[in-house]
Amino acid sequence: MATIRDIAKITGFSITTVSRVINGHPYVDEQKRAAILAVMEELDYKPNKIAQKLSSGKTYNIGVIVPFVNHAFFDGILNGIMEEAFAKKYKVTLLPTNFDRKLELEYLEEFAAKGFDGLIVITRANHIETFYPYMEKGPIVFCENSTGTAVPFVAIDLVGSVTASINYLKEQGVKRLGLTLGRSKRLSCNSVNTIAKAKELFPAFSEADIYWDCIKAQDGISAAAFFKERGIDGVITNGDEIAAMILNQYSHGTAPIVIGQENLLISQMLHFSSVEFHLNQCGKEAFRLFQERKQEQIILPYELIIRE
Amino acid sequence: MATIRDIAKITGFSITTVSRVINGHPYVDEQKRAAILAVMEELDYKPNKIAQKLSSGKTYNIGVIVPFVNHAFFDGILNGIMEEAFAKKYKVTLLPTNFDRKLELEYLEEFAAKGFDGLIVITRANHIETFYPYMEKGPIVFCENSTGTAVPFVAIDLVGSVTASINYLKEQGVKRLGLTLGRSKRLSCNSVNTIAKAKELFPAFSEADIYWDCIKAQDGISAAAFFKERGIDGVITNGDEIAAMILNQYSHGTAPIVIGQENLLISQMLHFSSVEFHLNQCGKEAFRLFQERKQEQIILPYELIIRE
DNA sequence: TTGTATGCGTTATCAC
DNA sequence: GTGATAACGCATACAA
């Protein structure tokens, strides 16, 4: 591997001059520039990226903490982040936690060790306080509603959408409301907020009618069994694929009214209601907050898409 | 930011000794090790990742070249790569090309400049020959059938699945066969192979019955119009979402028999046939080939899943 | 316009 | 066990 030193030695110029050529700086004689470029070409020389990063202190790399990929919600946001990062010449490194707190901590350590210029946390495994000390090391942006803290975030309006969904179900005469939720409420403030809203707006709602740990489409199968047994006639799910799976289990008998999330193609095809969260925009804004080092807290508008 | 030098200075030991402590090397007095660790803790010292990479020459980072994310096929393979990379302590950096040849070349340059330890190319934009010179810089693995070359790859058996699909459609009495394909055949050998098989096994097939540039679900709308107009009664699509969209357009009138790909939830829900390619495994094997620097060429088995 | 010298933060070699 | 010192490859004040 040829280095900048080799090029300098061979061309007879100094490392500095070669460096100037590499970076397209002015104040280099055109003749010499051409000669240096020729040698670089001949030796198939490429400036070492790592060395450049070490020297500049910038990696042009952003880490994205996410439970896992291949999941509509996370992928939607990730997609937005990537589009924006790409436009700004940043690279995106995936940091999947699978909700493992220790693993997430390792990523934070790596960030503190200058592994990334910034971090976007789509969904965290640890408590938000855990992140505070690391936020002094560099910009960290969250994609979760963290009202009450001072962290920059851009989040979807889950409370708003749940409110609208419940009101709609009430209008439709739903008697017993069911919910599917992801991780236990101890960990997810989204779950906490959703439950609070349900209790507030739907007095008959009982926490016993929540189907927990509902993450992937397949979880919809047992969720449906759960709801059938309890005579649920209206369900707010945490994902279109889950919603689809639930509906599919009701092939005979009347299905409850089910509301999905993410407004995926499947909700359109199976014709059930869903919520458009603008996940792509969420990701884009998150990256913008990182890059401009803004401290904003943004909640995106949602649209409840009724299909009946 | 505290550096190893600071720790050395404060503790009064040499940089070497501190480095030994960092890396858990032997031959360090336990007393001193403890003292050094204490100071590191106190100063919140973390060894700089970039410096470590420069010094070691390894990044523990692998780049994945892919047209874009949020697409079932690519995400499926990506997921497999990530699982395996994760298990082997590697990080994954996404390199989206949007089929831009020049952009892909930039990624290759970055790879040559030691930006990544290896590259996995899910789908390439450039000709395979373009990659040859870069393969001398480090391991590159492809996820596309590249029989006839010497490059390591792990691919899905598209020819096999198309063969099986066509035979099935023939059995079902299909008279006029339609195809949806992605990029023009000039660029994609998958397209070339698919067409060849169609002509071979389905004599009545005409290239005029191919709907091109069919990438995203929405493309299924005009694909359906295209097929309706031409009286197509059997379609092999290049994706379940596209297949679903096509079927959806036939709400009144008899729909053609449609075969999807990827065996997504939606094919199960809408009950149309599809092909299981084991994309996850494809990604995993690709990473394995990278890590073990194997030159293997693997074609994965498929399963045609008939739903009628 | 060009070059010298130094820094970036680690790891590795080798002598003590 | 320990510590100078030289890589690693590049960027950049500052001097010339």
pLDDT digits (tens, 9 = 90+) for A207-232: 999 999 999 999 999 999 999 999 99
Query: Of all nucleotides in the shown strands, which has a C1' nearest the CA of A2?
Result: D9
Nearest chain A residue to B56, by CA: A50
Q: What is the least distance, in Å, from the CA of B57 to any CA of chain A?
A: 9
Contact status of B258 with chain A (Cβ, < 8 Å): no
CA–CA distance, A166 with A179 (Å, rounded to integer): 11
Q: What's the rounded mean pLDDT across residues A3-22?
A: 88
Give the DSSP letter string of B266-308.
Answer: HHHHTT-BEEE--HHHHHHHHHHHHHTT---EEEE--EEE---
Q: How many CB pairs under 8 A join A and B?
A: 109
Average pLDDT over residues A43-54: 92
What's the pTM value of the predicted model, to 2 decimals? 0.94
Q: What is the pLDDT of residues B81-130, one digit of tens each?
A: 999 999 999 999 999 999 999 999 999 999 999 999 999 999 999 999 99
Question: Average of pLDDT values for B199-228?
Answer: 95
Q: Which residue has the tokens 């067409």?
A: B195
Please check whether residue A99 is in contact with residue A74, taking contact to mean a CB–CB distance below 8 angstroms: no
Q: Is the pLDDT of residue B136 over 70?
A: yes
Q: Are B85 and B92 in contact (CB under 8 A)?
A: yes
Contact of A113 with chain B, judged by CB distance below 8 Å, is answered with yes
Percent of chain A with pLDDT over 70: 99
Query: B273 by DSSP, 3-state: which?
Result: strand
* Burial (Cβ within 10 Å: 0-12, 13-18, ≥19) of residue B279: buried
Q: Across the strands, what pairs with A234?
A: A177, A257
Dmax over CA atoms of chain B, in Å, equals: 85
Q: What is the DSSP letter of B107?
A: H
Task: Tell whether the model's pLDDT for residue A286 goes beyond 90.
Answer: yes
Q: Percent of chain B having pLDDT more than 70? A: 99
Measured in residues, chain B has a length of 308
Is B160 part of the contact surface with chain A (CB cutoff 8 Å)?
no
Interface touch B75/A54, C-beta < 8 Å:
no
pLDDT band at residue A187 under the 50/70/90 scheme: low
**Average pLDDT over every residue of A298-306:** 98
**Does the pLDDT at position B33 exceed 90?**
no
Q: How many Å apart are CA A81 and CA B150, to the nearest integer?
A: 36
Q: Which residues of A touch B265 (CB under 8 A)?
A: 217, 241, 244-245, 266
Beta-carbon neighbour count of residue B251 at 10 Å?
A: 7
pLDDT, residue B277, reads 98
pLDDT number for residue A123: 95
Q: Say which nucleotide is closest to residue B3, CA to C1' distance.
A: C9
At B152-198, the pLDDT tens digits run 999 999 999 999 999 999 999 999 999 999 987 666 788 889 999 99
What percent helix, strand, coil does chain A show, rounded to 5? 45, 15, 40
Q: Which of B69, B82, B113 sits opposite A48 (nearest CB)?
A: B113
Strand partners, B18: none
The distance (Å) linking the CA of B50 with the C1' of C11 is 12
- In a mutagenesis test of the B interface, which of A40, A53, A70 is the best target, namely the one with the most B β-carbons within 10 Å? A70
| DSSP reduced 3-state for A118 | strand
- pLDDT bracket for residue A63 (50, 70, 90): very high
Q: Span B30-55, mean pLDDT?
A: 89
Chain D bases closer than 7 angstroms to a protein Cβ: 1-13
Give the other-Cβ count within 10 Å of B60's Cβ.
15
Residue A255's identity, in one-letter code, is A
- As a rounded value in angstroms, the CA-to-C1' distance for B154 and C4 is 52
Residue A186 confidence (pLDDT): 63
What pLDDT, on the 0 to 100 scale, is given for residue B186?
63
CA angle B284, B289, B293 (to 5 degrees): 150
pLDDT-derived band at A188, boundaries 50, 70, 90 = confident
Distance CA A11, CA A25 (A): 18
Average pLDDT, chain B: 93
**Better-predicted residue by pLDDT, A24 or B282:** B282
Q: Is B115's CB within 8 Å of A50's CB?
A: yes
Among residues A306, A286, A308, the alpha carbon closest in space to that of A296 is found at: A286
Q: Round to a whole number and report the distance in Å from the CA of B17 to the C1' of C11.
A: 12
Chain B contact for A188 (CB, 8 A cutoff) = no
Say which of A48, A96, A241 has its CB closest to residue B86.
A96
Cβ proximity of B115 and B137 under 8 Å: no
